[in-house]
Chains A and B, each alone.
Chain A
């Protein structure tokens, strides 16, 4: 099956996955999302577009990414573990798949300006990279708090030619960066594409972001069959907005015996109230253009998420995950900051791979899941990004600068 082949799991024409998704946006943006949906419907069936996308994935991003067995890490999980190495992609994470796809769509629509939001900076850097490659103007909105936490990524984006605008409204983090990007979009929509970084937002974003990341699951399924001779018992991925998870899940969604497991940021623990476990602890609501589970108070005010991983620090989640949770096809549970950081150190030490803290949540999930599968069990973990960007956090967390040891 091709990456862009329509599936029985696609949303309806207005973007609904069951009761989730849709379009909760100002009327002023409807023309733009309609245009985007129409362009994507044409592009996904156009061999020229599909081939150009595949060429960029191969020759620029470095795909296919490896599938690596992690036997020493697996000893701690009590089951066999394979890692889908999205960390080896150019720019260091899965994000490059989506930005290359949407940047190509931007060119097809004849638009010259791209805007994006970013939390930790991974999506911002990936977007700035794609815009540099394809000759598009790029503006990245980033919460002021995050520009301070991720100063190096701000510098990367500027080096790549992007303008980075610190967002000073609201909680000055990712959700406010999205609000500001939406305000820019509604003002400049004629010449601007909003390159949304996760499988959330109004239709068609959840569909097209998912499809650009389906390559992860398609590769992983072929690779595990070739290397292990069978399908895994479960596929494990971290879920913030949920783009890397939905991308790898879709490779296995029709394999009923393969469990799809999403691991959410549990922060300081669900009881603390300081977390980002939207699917585990959220309630239905509309945020940033779609119906999904959201973190909100009893008045419907969106609450702030908390995670040691800036990339998972989001009070919403992609609507297809809400659907997969409701129909029972996927399961979701949280791990805490401490569990994620333990897995971060463990993979570094046992396998010589420093994972992103986002991906470390998936690894911590594998450590929890593994014992129930036993030594003959088989897990595929999506290693969605590399940890270089997280060294500041690690230095502080483990006291590495003071001779500390993770």
Chain B
């Protein structure tokens, strides 16, 4: 089985950044999310983040909030998440899960890790779980061979970046701006500085997310980061249908290949 390190190593071997696309499981329906995620993989996403729609998404802006609500009102259940992950893996894609922590707690941290690994998932991105509170997850991820992606932010101190990097595996998620998810017109000036600070502390690949929506922005971020993370823009593209999703992935895939050669 491939691992997250392989994803980034393969991109690096091509002197480019990896493209990471996000879509909530169950959006717009469970079957629909499987199809769109497959399209994202086929059109150039090196890795997909499968979101778990949650009732109280405090890190998300209006686009992803609305998608989560739509998924839940269409009947999404947590067990569907593993189906969606498995369908990505079956299609030859690589998937991690991005989830708020309460649904994992409720499912049982160990059981969640077990079922995610069985479905072919590679790890979990945890937007509201910091390493300080992650004892159970450290143990479960080690037991089932899953990667842990914690987040760092422009407000993180050097000590916290170092600590967060030590707790992470696979890749680190750098939030480009102080804020919530949502497409923005310009790449934050805080992002390159944050990535540079992270690199002082770790050799782990660094993905940059929050606010990316175009190939040009992807190219800019690919100039200093190892992965470009795109979420809200994919959610918006779903409203326009499969061709729009594929076109966005292709544009972004082009972008990560035209960045100033990936650093480090």
Task: Tell me whether B164 and A298 are in contact (CB under 8 A).
Answer: no
Which B residues are in CB contact (< 8 Å) with A189?
A: 155, 178
Task: Tell me whether A186 and B180 are in contact (CB under 8 A).
Answer: yes
Which A residues are in CB contact (< 8 Å) with B178?
A: 28, 186-190
Distance, CA A30 to CA B153, complexed state (A): 9
If A183-B180, A186-B180 touch, does A301 touch B103 (CB 8 Å cutoff)?
yes
Interface string of B93-112 (1 = CB under 8 A from A): 00000000111111100000
A25 an interface residue at 8 Å Cβ cutoff? yes
Contact with A296, one of B102, B151, B164 (Cβ below 8 angstroms): B102
Centre residue among A29, A179, A283, A299 by max chain B CB count within 10 A: A299
Distance, CA A301 to CA B72, complexed state (A): 10
A402 an interface residue at 8 Å Cβ cutoff? no
Distance, CA A189 to CA B150, complexed state (A): 20
Task: Tell me whether B155 and A28 are in contact (CB under 8 A).
Answer: yes
* Interface 9-mer from B34-42, B57-65, B201-209, B239-247: B57-65
| Nearest CB of chain A from residue B100's CB, rounded to whole Å | 8
B83 an interface residue at 8 Å Cβ cutoff? no
Distance, CA A14 to CA B78, complexed state (A): 30
B152 an interface residue at 8 Å Cβ cutoff? yes
Distance, CA A5 to CA B212, complexed state (A): 49
User: Could you tell me which residues of chain B, from 154 to 169, have a CB within 8 Å of some CB in chain A?
Assistant: 154-157, 160, 164
Distance, CA A32 to CA B178, complexed state (A): 12
User: Could you tell me which residues of chain A, from 146 to 198, have a CB within 8 Å of some CB in chain B?
Assistant: 169-170, 175-176, 179, 182-183, 186-190
Task: Tell me whether B152 and A27 are in contact (CB under 8 A).
Answer: yes
Centre residue among A31, A301, A303 by max chain B CB count within 10 A: A301
Contact with B102, one of A23, A176, A300 (Cβ below 8 angstroms): A300
Task: Tell me whether A26 and B157 are in contact (CB under 8 A).
Answer: no
If A179-B57, A186-B180 touch, does A26 touch B62 (CB 8 Å cutoff)?
no
Distance, CA A188 to CA B155, complexed state (A): 11
Which B residues are in CB contact (< 8 Å) with A298?
A: 106
Contact with A27, one of B61, B78, B101, B130 (Cβ below 8 angstroms): B130
B31 an interface residue at 8 Å Cβ cutoff? no
Task: Tell me whether A24 and B128 are in contact (CB under 8 A).
Answer: yes
Task: Tell me whether B69 and A170 are in contact (CB under 8 A).
Answer: yes
B144 an interface residue at 8 Å Cβ cutoff? no
Contact with B77, one of A26, A31, A283, A299 (Cβ below 8 angstroms): A299
Nearest A residue to B99 via CB reads A300
If A14-B132, A22-B133, A23-B133 touch, does A300 touch B175 (CB 8 Å cutoff)?
no
If A183-B61, A183-B180, A299-B78 touch, does A287 touch B102 (CB 8 Å cutoff)?
yes
Task: Tell me whether B180 and A300 are in contact (CB under 8 A).
Answer: no
A302 an interface residue at 8 Å Cβ cutoff? yes
Centre residue among A179, A300, A303 by max chain B CB count within 10 A: A300
Which A residues are in CB contact (< 8 Å) with B157?
A: 31
Which B residues are in CB contact (< 8 Å) with A287?
A: 56, 102
Task: Tell me whether A24 and B133 are in contact (CB under 8 A).
Answer: yes
User: Could you tell me which residues of chain A, from 1 to 56, have a CB within 8 Å of some CB in chain B?
Assistant: 14, 22-32
If A170-B69, A299-B103 touch, does A27 touch B150 (CB 8 Å cutoff)?
yes
A71 an interface residue at 8 Å Cβ cutoff? no
Which B residues are in CB contact (< 8 Å) with A29?
A: 155
If A286-B102, A300-B104 touch, does A27 touch B164 (CB 8 Å cutoff)?
yes
A284 an interface residue at 8 Å Cβ cutoff? yes
Number of A interface residues in the complex (CB < 8 A): 39
| Nearest CB of chain A from residue B42's CB, rounded to whole Å | 30
Distance, CA A32 to CA B160, complexed state (A): 13
Distance, CA A28 to CA B160, complexed state (A): 11
Task: Tell me whether B160 and A300 are in contact (CB under 8 A).
Answer: no
Which B residues are in CB contact (< 8 Å) with A377?
A: none
| Nearest CB of chain B from residue A44's CB, rounded to whole Å | 23
Contact with B54, one of A31, A32, A284, A301 (Cβ below 8 angstroms): A301
If A31-B155, A287-B102 touch, does A26 touch B56 (CB 8 Å cutoff)?
no
User: Could you tell me which residues of chain B, from 14 to 71, have a CB within 8 Å of some CB in chain A?
Assistant: 54-59, 61-62, 65, 69
A285 an interface residue at 8 Å Cβ cutoff? yes
Centre residue among B55, B78, B179 by max chain A CB count within 10 A: B55
Distance, CA A68 to CA B107, complexed state (A): 49
Which B residues are in CB contact (< 8 Å) with A301?
A: 54-55, 72, 103
Distance, CA A169 to CA B179, complexed state (A): 17
User: Could you tell me which residues of chain A, from 265 to 286, have a CB within 8 Å of some CB in chain B?
Assistant: 283-286
| Nearest CB of chain A from residue B82's CB, rounded to whole Å | 13
B7 an interface residue at 8 Å Cβ cutoff? no
B129 an interface residue at 8 Å Cβ cutoff? yes
Nearest A residue to B78 via CB reads A299
Which A residues are in CB contact (< 8 Å) with B153?
A: 26-28, 31
Contact with B105, one of A14, A23, A170, A286 (Cβ below 8 angstroms): A286
User: Could you tell me which residues of chain B, from 240 to 258, have a CB within 8 Å of some CB in chain A?
Assistant: none
Task: Tell me whether A187 and B179 are in contact (CB under 8 A).
Answer: yes
Kindly list 14 other residue pairs between chains A and B, CB separation below 8 angstroms, not including A27-B155, A186-B179, A298-B106: A14-B132, A24-B128, A26-B127, A27-B151, A29-B155, A31-B160, A32-B155, A169-B62, A170-B69, A179-B56, A183-B180, A300-B106, A301-B54, A301-B103
A-B contact pairs, 28 of them (CB 8 A): A23-B132, A24-B101, A24-B129, A25-B128, A26-B58, A26-B127, A28-B151, A28-B175, A28-B178, A31-B155, A31-B157, A32-B155, A169-B62, A170-B65, A170-B69, A179-B58, A183-B58, A186-B179, A186-B180, A188-B178, A190-B178, A283-B106, A286-B105, A288-B58, A299-B103, A300-B104, A301-B54, A303-B55
Interface residue ranges, A against B (CB under 8 Å): 14, 22-32, 169-170, 175-176, 179, 182-183, 186-190, 283-289, 294, 296, 298-303
